[in-house]
Structure 1
């Protein structure tokens, strides 16, 4: 993340970095520090594309800016390669929380796929325990530096493998001991949530909260599957829900908007959209509307009353932070502090915390924005 002074509100207002934030969609294997990849890679004899941290960071950003989710996901082969030992997982998780705290995050849900981290002999449970150890160390580090942060794990199953029920049971075993919910990730098109119906049945029967990647690399049918097969309480990205919204210009001053049944359902039930502006540009998720941030349907969804949230998705691949994403949106759509506060309150309300703790989180956000 660049210097704090680069992220003032338009017109030289409040410092966005210091505002309290909630991060709901942030991948552990997409948020490594380049130097950590270099260090851990050297320990296991892994060739990396660059041995200078700055150069490696640029390599990730360049390779990720492909316009294709499939190509974007290939960069994770390198990050997951250095996350196959207890030490590697613990270090990455600890630094992840440190970086969230530096970004002003007060609550974060960190998603990752344990099944991708067993190549060097760890069991699934051992990977979860190693990550939890790192997360707790990172929270302690933040507290020592005067920053209060809470975090939870979102255990992801890869949608193109056949381990959904196994991973669902893993999430349930660790629920309340670091894990706060479940997700499915990986290639979206061709791998619908219905393929993991047994996992979602199990999760529903055992009251495990669920968010599902949908509406990023596939369209409305994927979102339907997330809601009705996956019983998703949130949509991971969900940006292509805008395909179910029709805008018709009657004249130079009036535009009429009609919501399709799926969009109306999502809006009426306040199902949160985990939007990730920079990532959505990189993966081509908004190509139907354009190639610039101004083309992103974020503002349309916000103005229509959807529960929009702002996320980084993968901070390494997008060379970004939550502060930067908010700053970009404020610059592009002329948002003020009250808008940014709404995005954080939306995220707090959609988090997988118990009700009373969600309310306390909202109070923290309001107090922080009032002081800005």
Structure 2
């Protein structure tokens, strides 16, 4: 189960090269697929969220026509299915894919078609996957209300929610209150990137001013926890609120290390937050930039913190409980897919 994965952060290097050639896009640092994949990982591994975000100029640069968007989305669904993911919410910003004349609606419809194509191909290979999308607005831009309306318009077609993303510092979520108020009025779901590169004020605004359903990353909630010499944890009011209300944390460990939100996996707050039983979910963020998959993220956590299959099942069920599809669908996936699969592993 995957709740936080960016479409433009998960392209296959070979696809980027082929699309760049088709578009006449001249700026790739390499036209060798292996070298290009290594470049993305190293360029993203800077310890800076702003530098990390710069790598997306190349992926977004080749995702500017309908055929490219369909292809990228289809390959995304296939790649997730090959990794064993059976449910995913993949996010993208429609406003970043209109430089060659596509309308916002064209972008959304192309991506949705791509997800359907990829899911059918995966099914032909005996793998089941459901891929829905979140429409993202860029927090430094002024189109959030427009994108929120777009998400509501397509919510019966495969768009299950809304998101804002981009550099946090200087661009608080409260700049987009109009969008969030509209979404609440429309009984629509949304998540907010908060508490990644910026601290508790970003999380507090996302929750108490904007009313977010989930926290994208939310890693800095650890700033409201104090661990004593005896190992006892004193929890501040915001952290207690997040835990008590079961606010889902869309944690992306490898990405957080790359952007400097955590120094290492061993020091990542996911360990403490899991021990305290926050609603922790494990995600990939950007599979290309972080050189990761959901399997690799869970495997690394298991090795680092000593988690067993029961712990990994807990992360997976947390994610499914926190998904933006209906309750009956979530319950069916938990009872009919997740629990039986883990039962075979746990024994």
TM-score range, shorter chain: over 0.9
| Corresponding residue of 1:3 | none
| Corresponding residue of 2:117 | 137
Q: 1:289-368 maps to which residues of 2 (within 5 A)?
A: 291-363=263-335, 364-368=337-341
Q: Distance in 2 between matches of 1:342 and 1:143?
A: 26
| Corresponding residue of 2:190 | 210
Shift of 1:189: 1.1
CA contact 1:160–1:186 (8 Å) conserved in 2: yes
| Corresponding residue of 1:185 | 165
Q: Distance in 2 between matches of 1:233 and 1:165?
A: 17
Shift of 1:292: 1.6
Shift of 1:51: 1.1
| Corresponding residue of 2:238 | 262
CA contact 1:182–1:210 (8 Å) conserved in 2: yes
Q: Distance in 2 between matches of 1:148 and 1:33?
A: 21
Structure 1's unaligned 5+ residue stretches are 1-21
Q: Distance in 1 between matches of 2:303 and 2:340?
A: 24
Corresponding residue SS for 1:156 = strand
Greater RCO structure (CA 8 Å; 6+ sep): 1
Corresponding residue SS for 1:294 = coil
Corresponding residue SS for 2:228 = strand
CA deviation vs aligned residue, 1:145-165 (integer Å, no higher than 9, x gap): 111111111000000001111
| Corresponding residue of 1:8 | none
Q: 1:78-97 maps to which residues of 2 (within 5 A)?
A: 78-97=58-77
Q: Distance in 2 between matches of 1:308 and 1:255?
A: 20
1:42 is matched with which residue: 21, 25, 38?
A: 21
Q: 1:1-372 maps to which residues of 2 (within 5 A)?
A: 22-47=1-26, 48-249=28-229, 254-286=230-262, 291-363=263-335, 364-372=337-345
Corresponding residue SS for 1:240 = helix
Structure 2's unaligned 5+ residue stretches are none
Corresponding residue SS for 1:152 = strand
Corresponding residue SS for 2:89 = strand
Q: Distance in 1 between matches of 2:71 and 2:13?
A: 13
Q: Which runs of 4+ in 1 moved over 3 A?
A: none
CA contact 1:83–1:117 (8 Å) conserved in 2: yes
**Greater Cα offset, 34-43 or 354-363:** 354-363
Q: How many residues align?
A: 343
Shift of 1:338: 0.3
Shift of 1:230: 2.2
- After superposition, the CA RMSD in angstroms is 0.6
Q: Distance in 1 between matches of 2:264 and 2:183?
A: 38
Q: Distance in 1 between matches of 2:125 and 2:112?
A: 20
Shift of 1:229: 2.4
Shift of 1:371: 1.4
Corresponding residue SS for 1:274 = strand
CA deviation vs aligned residue, 1:75-118 (integer Å, no higher than 9, x gap): 00000001010001000000000000011000000000000000
What is the TM-score with the length of structure 2 in the denominator?
0.98
